[in-house]
Structures are given as structure tokens and as C-alpha cells.
Amino acid sequence: MKYPNMFAQIGKTEAEIDAKVSAAFRAIFEDETERFYFEPDDLHGYMLDTGNIDARTEGMSYGMMMAVQMDRQDIFDRLWRFSCDYMLLRSGRHAGYFAWSVKPDGSHNAEGPAPDGEEYYAMALLFAAARWGGDYADAARQILRHCVHQDALNENGCAMWDPENKLIRFIPEVDFSDPSYHLPHFYALFAQGCDPEDREFWRAAAAASREYIAKSCHPVTGLAPEYAEYDGSTKLLFGKNMAFFSDAYRVGMNIGLDAAWFGPTAALTDAARRLQATVANNPELLETACQLDGSLEGTPVMHPLGLLATTAAASLATGDLDWVRRLWDAGPRKGARRYYDNCLYFFSLLMCAGRYVNWMDKSPNPS
């Protein structure tokens, strides 16, 4: 499969694109001043959330996805080993899930999971199996089994996906969601790599998530809430007064990658167009948090590069080259909050470069 190369469409050469992607990768994994990947010993590696000084399943699984896309099995294996040795929960209702936050030494800050980590772990493992071989797919199937059947596998356990509406939960114990957790392009591939009896579940989850993303996005601005009820309406949590904030930035990126791998969905493309127009016409949104109607809330944006990058990645659905140029002109963030921004920035670069490959395709062609 050939993936859209948006940077080529704005006149960048393959050599320039390679250099841009490689520089962003080095900033995360190698630069002595700005990296947030660390190797504490000869076996393990972890991704440090530099704003909270912990390792999260979000970042660990992101790092594994970056590593498989960049053909760095050494980094991938270190991150996966750290996850299994220090984050995997081995007893109780959450056994089989991963503790969402641990200290750099592996001791736990939390004893429960965050579903966005599990879904990225599973997808990265399936890609690793397709690209490198080995037993990674067995581990992916184990994760997916728990995600769907935790209720049956553990006493008092709770599945990460609601069995009735097929929507991913914010955490297993609640009946609401996070629109940025919804990755229908992953679920369509889970249907290929999961246990045979769960294939129909994942196909249904992909369809349900595409519908959910569309209805959670504001009908005028295209902005999505950080957290939402199952009907798509905004849910405010953690004392926040703003609806459009850090988690929500990932929605544009997810719409873009779904379009690149499986083709555009009209309702999602429309939402992405509204999002891009809203942010382009209201540049203050890159500095100040807002409600879904675009009205400013007053809190400074924590991750401006992340918002810019993911809004640009939505161009895989919309074809907007002005946003692609804005992404090209941006560079990695420096400083204490660089972790989340640079993860989203790197993924968005890969997407717009046509280098975020579905390795389960039999003949991927990222050029």
C-alpha cells in the first residue's frame, strides 16, 4: 500500500523528509539534553513524562510504536521488557492490564490501567510481529483478550470496552469515554490479529468509534471534548472548566491516520475540516484553552505544539496543505513539557511523510 506523502505535495524532497523525521526521532531518543527515552540498565528502557516525572503506559506504548515504525527493535524490546517487568499487573481485578503510571525505578504510582496504553501496546506488538517475526503477536492477543473479556477472566474485573455499545471506556470501571482514545483504524486491524471469536467485536468497535468521534465533535467548530458521555456530550473531570484540552488534541491525528489507512469517512472529514478552520481562524486557541464552541476559558494551553501538529495531521483526511506547511516549519519542543508535545509531533510527522506504516499490510510501501 502506498501512503499519502503530504510533505512531498508541498515540494519537499525525500532527503529533506528523511532528515526531518530523523531529527525528531533523535530529539526523543538520543539527544543528551532533550531526550526523554532512558536506559536504566542493560535490559530496560522507559519513556519519561517530563512534566510529571513518571513513566506512563501512554508513553511506553507510544515509544514502542515509534520504534517499530523506525525499525529499532532494540528500543522496542527494552520498552516492552520494562512494561512487562514493572508495569504488568499480576493479581487482583486488574491482572493482565498494566499500571498506567510508575516511577522511573518501576515502583507504582497507580494500580489501575488507562485503556489508551493497552490499545497502543497491542497495535505496536502486532506490527512488531508483522515486521520482525517472533512471539509479539501472542502478547498482543493476550492484551486484547483482557480488554474484551476481563469480566470473565478476573473476579470483579471490568472490560475496557463496553460490551453493549462497543465503545472504549475512559477507565474500565466507568461508563463514559474519551474521544481521543477512539482508534477505529487500530480496531480494524485488531479484528485481523485477535482471537478468532473476537473478530466481529473489533469490526463492530471500529464502526462504533467512527460514529462516536463524529458525534462528539462540535457541529460548528469541529473541536472534540477531552472526556465525553456515550452520547458524545461533554463531561468535565478533574476540576477542569474547559472542554477542549490536551487529550482532545489527538482526535485530529486519529481522523487523519484512519483516512490514510482505510480511506476517508465523510462525517470525520467534515469534522476535521471544521477543526482546521477553527484553529486557523482563531490562532489564540494555540495559546489559550477553550470550550467546544471556541470561546476562550482563560487557562493557558499546556501543549501548543501537540495541538498544531495533530491539527496538521488531520490533513490526511482534508488535503489542507497550509496546515502541512505549518507542521513542516515547526520543530520539537524543548523544556519540561516536551514529552507529550514531541510524541504527537513525531507521530504527525510520520503521518504527513507517508511513513506511518500499517505493517499488517502484506506489501507496505511507505514511499
Residues recognised as catalytic: 58, 247
In contact, 344 and 316? CB cutoff 8 Å: no
| DSSP code for 228 | B
Q: What is the C-alpha radius of gyration for the chain, rounded to an integer number of angstroms? A: 19
All three cell numbers of 326, joined, read 505549518
Give the CA-trace dihedral at 115, 315, 231, 245, to 10 degrees: 70
- In order of 89, 220, 270, 308, the CA distances from 357 in angstroms are 30, 32, 24, 22
Give the CA-trace dihedral at 148, 149, 150, 155, to 10 degrees: 160
In contact, 27 and 356? CB cutoff 8 Å: no
Could you give the angle at the alpha carbon of 144 between the alpha carbons of 90 and 43, nearest 5°? Answer: 55
| DSSP code for 87 | I
